Structure 1
Amino acid sequence: MSSKFNLSAPPRSGFATDEDVSGYKAAAEARTHNTSLRLSSLTLDELREELERRAEETQKLQEEVEDATRETLKTLGCTWLGIPGQCCLSYDSSEDPPAVSAHQPRMTQPLVCSLDTLKQKVVQKDRSSYEKEATGNAINHPLQQLNKISDEPGKDTFSPQRATMNLQAELHDLQLEKDVVSDLRTEDLITVLEQEMAMLTNRLSSSKDSGVSLCAKLDLLKKVTERQTSLHQRQISDLESTLSSYKDQVCCLEQKILETETHLFSTRRERERSLQQEKDLQAQLGQLKACCEQQQLDLREDAEILRGQLEMVREQLFRAGEEKTCTQFLLEQKAQEVKKSQKLLQEKEEELCFRQQRTQQHL
């Protein structure tokens, strides 16, 4: 089995016919017979290497089929998601979708599969998983046999020949299964692509109708938007004029508040100044009261002293009445002293009255 064999394309209308399948099987049997002749002369290690190489070629062939499928889908405007066992298609957004109308916006809608398409994908998934499991078992079984033979070389002298025959038979079955799997996978992929293209065509025709209705709705929406915009602009102009009048009123109120605060501040300063002056006057009045009281005490003391002196002078005059002749000179002198004392007392009394009047005036 080689990765360079060519697969004939199945008919576009559906699955392959019985003649095509029998032709594929005959070609696969011929290739398997040719390879079996070449494998009969190989040793166990060479057979193991050949089997591993065939497994790698099978994997490479599967990757080539996926790459070819991906390129085909790119030409159709879809993308290959690369999920094993499933054929997943999505619209390629890098390419422009078909134009629906000159005024219609571009739209990208997901492909919604019908019930039959979903059932077919489920069957393809089950079939692909079964085929992968069968292929893996067919590859792992000969490897296990080769490992068992290499571990026990002395038990059976004919085991290498039997293993070779078993490997040839299993390789033959693997070749047939791989050819059939490749053909079925290609046919299923083409069928799914045709169904997707038909569904995309139906979707495109329906999108044209929806595009026309969307254009009409868009025109109606534009008209409604223009009316609402003009209405909003008028409302905005009214609000701006109202806001400007409110701003003027606010400016006037702020000016009045500023003037009121200034007047209140000056009134507070005058009140504080008056309170300070009142405190100063009260302090001065207290000082004057204390000074007047002290002066009154001094004057009273002086008056008491003068009264005592006057009493002494009266006693002396009473005593000197008898000694008038002897003490006339002394009496006159004493009289002068009394006059001076009375005059001084009168001056003190006048000064005390004057100070009392001034104190009453200050109060």
Structure 2
Amino acid sequence: MLRIRDLPLPPLLSTPRRILVTGTAGFIGFHLARLLLAEGHVVHGFDGMTDYYDVSLKRARHAALLQNQHFAVTEGLLEDQPLLDRTADAFQPDIIVHLAGQAGVRHSLEAPRAYIDSNVMGSFNVIEAARRHGVAHLLIASSSSVYGANTSMPFAEVDKADTQLTIYGATKKAGESMAHAYAHLHDLPTTMFRFFTVYGPWGRPDLAFFKFADAILDGRPIDIYNHGQMYRDFTYVDDLVRGIRLLIDAVPQRPDSPEDIAAGDSLSPVAPYRIVNIGNSTKVRLLDFIDALETSLGQKAVRNYMGMQPGDLEATWANADLLRQLTGYQPQTDVQTGIDAFVRWFRDYYDK
């Protein structure tokens, strides 16, 4: 069991802060912005509104956020550094949460350059903006994909992660490395969070749970890779953004010496920089996840069992001890509860 000494839980932000969130039209960015606005913070979004998936869904998310007078947004690509800089200069953020980027592990096999442009160059532009403004905390989304071919599970933040299997995973690891260098050189407090398999209302149409629900209701077959013998740490989106929200307050500090870092803490010995897993800490078999979806939909799937896909992993599973020690919080929504919430939203939004 991880024990981190001398790390009292941080108090929640007592006064409204100015928080720049990239990717607010996206699945996770939308939910985080909604949570921050509910707490009374001022949020400025930045989103490219790319057509990787249905732009009308992205616009619906932004329309919901714009109902709050404390939310505004700039539409533009991360690669457009002048626009990003103008946005940050006008907003003067206290905190930056960087969630935008080119998503989709599968798509990275077909269009790798899009991932370099957005996830590497775009992330560099965000990190540089954070440095210029001297923000109190920079938080950046990474992914469980950085663990790549690691076989020791549950994955822990202190595990070596040098064997990425896709360009998507490689670009996320590159972002971690760039952020660490900036944290070291410029004393920029930075937290990277590694997401696991996120699901829930307002989800992305390219994600398996979304595609499965749509196909099941239409009577179309669903493709089940590795014959369903896949295991994922399914993380409900509300749990995920609660973890991000609490990590905003857990600002890493450069240690005086490596001996001050407890075993299991990913705090860098040379920078105010930390990596934190956000996951449910429970591995769920894909077939059991599909069973839960069928139960919620009240309809059986037509199952098309297939072999393993290139670059895919048989299992991902998070050790979330560090998140719990830093914030006192542990994601815990069970799969059936989370799927039920997604299905209610899906049926209502798409009138199915």
What TM-score does the superposition give when structure 1 sets the normalisation length? 0.21
Structure having the larger proportion of residues in helix: 1
Structure having the larger proportion of residues in strand: 2
